[in-house]
Each structure stands twice: as structure tokens, then as C-alpha cells.
């Protein structure tokens, strides 16, 4: 399996309105390190998995509407529990929509919320 991983970050605010989240039910901030790993069994005609510059551009474009935002106030995320796992899937779906013309394979999105905790989502494009 060939892989290409790119990285960016976002800074967000949100609250997780569910008893399971204890103090995180209150408004708080997070800085996520976002890794997107593109995986393919074979290289394309240019002998690459995906153009790295294109992958960076897409990731930045997908993350831009989330960066420096209160996720509780974004219409598409209103009333969602924007957990790290949920956000990983959300970002995966947005990237998939943008690269499906250029890339066919698997994509794994990992969000690092601290130096000791991260979550992710992996699926086909």
C-alpha cells in the first residue's frame, strides 16, 4: 500500500452538550493537528498516489471554514456533538468530495487534540 500524508491544523471552539463529557459540556477551545493520509494499492500514471500540492490545497480549503470558528454556531454543525471522532469523519467527507476526480483509494483523517490523544476516521473515496 502506498501512502501520502499531509498535515495542517485548525483552532476551534465548541461545547459538547452531553453528560458524558463532564466539564467539556461548557464552551472550550481546541487546536487540532489534522493529518490526512491518502492510500492506494497502485501509483497513478505520474507514479504518485496524489499530487502533494493538490492534497495540501484541498486540506486547507476544507479546514478553512472551521478555523477560528465556534462550531456550535455553524449552520451545518448546529446541534451536533462535534467530538474529535465526528470531526474526523466530517473532514474526511469534505476531502473526499473534492478529490474524487483526482484520487481513488482510501483516506484516513486523524485529529490530534493533544500530545496524548487523537481520533480518526478511515474509508474509501
pLDDT band at 41 (very low <50, low <70, confident <90, very high): very high
Q: What integer is the mean pLDDT of 76-84?
A: 96
Pairing of strands 2-14, 106-112: unpaired
**Phi then psi dihedrals of residue 117, to 5 deg:** -145, 135
Share of the chain above pLDDT 70, in %: 100
Q: Which has the closest alpha carbon to 53: 106, 2, 99?
A: 99
pLDDT band at 4 (very low <50, low <70, confident <90, very high): very high
pLDDT band at 3 (very low <50, low <70, confident <90, very high): very high
Q: What integer is the mean pLDDT of 86-109?
A: 97
pLDDT band at 80 (very low <50, low <70, confident <90, very high): very high
The overall average pLDDT reported for the chain is 97
Note the Cα 21 to chain centre separation in Å: 21
Strands laid side by side in the 106-112 sheet: 69-70, 2-14, 28-40, 106-112, 118-124
pLDDT band at 24 (very low <50, low <70, confident <90, very high): very high
pLDDT band at 36 (very low <50, low <70, confident <90, very high): very high
Q: How many CB atoms lie within 10 A of CB 85?
A: 13
Write down all domains in the chain, each with its CATH number in brackets.
2-124 (3.30.479.10)
Residues in the chain: 125
Q: How far apart are CA 90 and CA 116, in angstroms?
A: 22
Amino acid at each position: 500500500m502506498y501512502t501520502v500524508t499531509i498535515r495542517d491544523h485548525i483552532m476551534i471552539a465548541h461545547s459538547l452538550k452531553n453528560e458524558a463529557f463532564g466539564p467539556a459540556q461548557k464552551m472550550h477551545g481546541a487546536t487540532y493537528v489534522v493529518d490526512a493520509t491518502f492510500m492506494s494499492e497502485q501509483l497513478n500514471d505520474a507514479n504518485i498516489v496524489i499530487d502533494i500540492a493538490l492534497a495540501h490545497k484541498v486540506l486547507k480549503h476544507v479546514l478553512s471554514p472551521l478555523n477560528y470558528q465556534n462550531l456550535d454556531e455553524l449552520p451545518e454543525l448546529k446541534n451536533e456533538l462535534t467530538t474529535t471522532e465526528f470531526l474526523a469523519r466530517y473532514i474526511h467527507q469534505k476531502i473526499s468530495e473534492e478529490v474524487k476526480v483526482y484520487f481513488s483509494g482510501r483516506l484516513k483523517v486523524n485529529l490530534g487534540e493533544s500530545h496524548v490523544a487523537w481520533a480518526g476516521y478511515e474509508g474509501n473515496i
